[in-house]
Structure 1
């Protein structure tokens, strides 16, 4: 006997909505007493962390070129020697003084995000080839059904970027610059464009 086609219906997708900050960064939005501090808001580095200190800053722009003021950004990366602070890291011991992960809500007035971290070392691709130094980003905001993943490479690593196996897989080379953070001294500027002519390359992971 044939079943009705409406027996099981796909439920509607949900965006991150206006509650993402309440759930992920309650102290940031004035809901205190749930956690001593918001998860991921503490420093990634301390006085004993190995590596070159850098500041990553930027904005998340919509398709019209307007900076989002409700985006939530997470980053994770290797330490200065190319090891991850993770139980699955088997290649060596990661720097115990480097967290390797952080979360930052965009400024509610300007939309700017900012991370104080270190420049990561190179890590191997699946086939053993070394990838260029990079930082992985995850972005959520109202209107985004699934969190978006991208990477930030460094403008002062041209040789490493040229041989990076992930960048090499991007078919339209004119889009590679959307993944390059512009370095000026110890500051790296990385703007993320959700749509439009400058749309950032996002990865399906």
Structure 2
């Protein structure tokens, strides 16, 4: 039985240029010379693979996987969705990793000096494998906004970082999930580097009351599309899908 694959042309207009002065970090970090294409070896394409035996039972539950003597502080939420290709087909067995700030807007990292306190019961990271339908699910707290040294009074809107692995470590894509209705959307210098408003819309996770738990937590849905016109914007794929 032959399989027909749809061809989706790259849309280069939705991705920001590497050099975007309003986001000051790009001034020093953006390349000044044409990028080189490095051939990938067979071992990089085929391994290592990921299986359920590699994950702990609480890896997907950020409310419990670093808890010491109680629950994390903050608004409890569920983040869930599907990983699909450009034609809506599920991508099973995909390793999805997340990391985020706590409810006060501070990361549990030695280099984060923001004045918000560290939450001893929140580590801020987790991982899960997509099931046969490409579905993943995390429990966590809604991260807080935080200031950063871009220009005077620069703030990052609340976000969760996502890392999506393919069949091996060389097949990795990174993106950020934002929350529907965030008032800082038009003020976030990093989010505003995306010139296509529709592409930024695809990073805004809508509230999903159907997946929320009554008297427990709200839910947000974040579907990830790997290629095509409706692809998720990825930080490390500036040229498009």
- Give the TM-score of the pair, scaled to structure 1: 0.80
CA contact (8 A) 1:15 1:141 kept: no
Following superposition, which runs of at least 4 residues in structure 1 exceed 4 angstroms of deviation? 13-16
Give the alignment partner of residue 193 of structure 1, picking from 205, 225, 237: 225
- Please give the secondary structure, in 1, of the residue aligned with 2:146: coil
Q: 1:83 to 1:26 in 2, by over 3 A?
A: same
Q: Cα deviations across residues 41-70 of structure 1 (Å, max 9, x unaligned)?
A: 163124431100000001111122211011
CA contact (8 A) 2:47 2:168 kept: no
Give the drift of 1:11: 5.7
1:124 maps to: 147
Give the alignment partner of residue 125 of structure 2, picking from 101, 104, 114: 101
Measure, in 2, the Cα distance between the counterparts of 1:175 and 1:11: 29
Over the aligned positions, Cα root-mean-square deviation in angstroms equals 2.5
- Please give the secondary structure, in 2, of the residue aligned with 1:126: coil
Q: Where in structure 2 are the equivalents of 1:24-173 lying within 5 Å?
A: 25-27=52-54, 37=56, 41=59, 43-46=61-64, 47-92=70-115, 93-107=117-131, 109-127=132-150, 129-142=154-167, 145-157=170-182, 159-173=183-197
1:33 maps to: none
Gap regions ≥5 residues in structure 1: 1-8, 29-36
Q: Cα deviations across residues 76-110 of structure 1 (Å, max 9, x unaligned)?
A: 00000000011222223311111100011111x22
CA contact (8 A) 1:55 1:115 kept: yes
Give the drift of 1:144: 8.1
Matched, 1:21 2:44: no
CA contact (8 A) 2:82 2:223 kept: yes
Q: Cα deviations across residues 109-152 of structure 1 (Å, max 9, x unaligned)?
A: 22210000010000223315111100000001138843111000
